[in-house]
Structure 1
Amino acid sequence: MSSITFAGPVTATRLRITPRGRRVLAALVALPVAGAIAFAALSGGSALASGEHTAGDGFATVTVQPGDTLWSIAGEVAPDADPRDVVAEISKLNMVDGGVIEVGQHLAIPARYGATGR
């Protein structure tokens, strides 16, 4: 037969952080934050530096009427242009996702097309 003996109550040890440990912990926490700030600072100007046309290059606006689609608006404002190209430019300029537009919405139209049909 074996006897089981218990050592008695176990005392919990407290975690002590030395001043050096605090500096290391602070550096580990600050490193991702500093990396995120550096990334944002370095990539923030890429849109302007890309050389792509922006809304500041000049544009006209049209107001979406009941029954309008991007395709119909493209056909009206640029009857001689390929509607696919015009729809793509209007979508990009207005950040229209999936071609969904709403009645009363104001859409920017690139100045080279103007809003001649409206």
Structure 2
Amino acid sequence: MSTIAVTAPTTRLRLTARGRRVFAFLAALPVVVALTLAVVGGGVALASNEAGASAGAFAEITVMNGETLWSIAEDVAPGSDPRDVVAEITRLNAIENGSVTAGQRIAIPAAYALGR
């Protein structure tokens, strides 16, 4: 009796153009996700590193009756240009209309807080 050996045909994996695109997309996906997280996380770190945002970079005062941003700027920084001081106080406190009211607590940059 004779034995017949049956061998399985060898096939090569062939990727179509669509298959190559899917494979490339799946290979690039972790890189895209990592870069996105780095950009988003890096933006937060940069924003919190600004001089006005760090803890201890300002002192709080209470606005008295009749005081304006201009008078506060002249009071806390007599040797500085009041326009620059008002601009810094406005930016630090996100004051939109340029006015303050009596009893309002506002932050003064630490560089000027010693004069009050």
Aligned residues: 79
SS for the counterpart of 1:113 is helix
Partner residue of 1:52 out of 50, 53, 72: 50
SS for the counterpart of 2:83 is helix
Q: Which runs of 5+ in 1 are unaligned?
A: 1-37
Q: Which runs of 5+ in 2 are unaligned?
A: 1-35
For the residues of structure 2 that align with 1:61 and 1:86, how far apart are their CA atoms?
15
Larger radius of gyration: 2
Query: What is the aligned-residue RMSD (CA, Å)?
Result: 2.5
CA deviations on 1:6-42 (whole Å, 9 max, x unpaired) are xxxxxxxxxxxxxxxxxxxxxxxxxxxxxxxx8xxx6
For the residues of structure 1 that align with 2:69 and 2:114, how far apart are their CA atoms?
13
SS for the counterpart of 2:61 is strand
Alignment of 1:16-95 (within 5 A): 46=43, 48-50=45-47, 51-55=49-53, 56-95=55-94
Q: Which has the higher helix share?
A: 2
TM-score if structure 2 supplies the norm length?
0.57
Aligned equivalent of 1:106: 105
TM-score if structure 1 supplies the norm length?
0.56
% of aligned pairs identical?
48
Q: 1:60 to 1:107 in 2, by over 3 A?
A: same
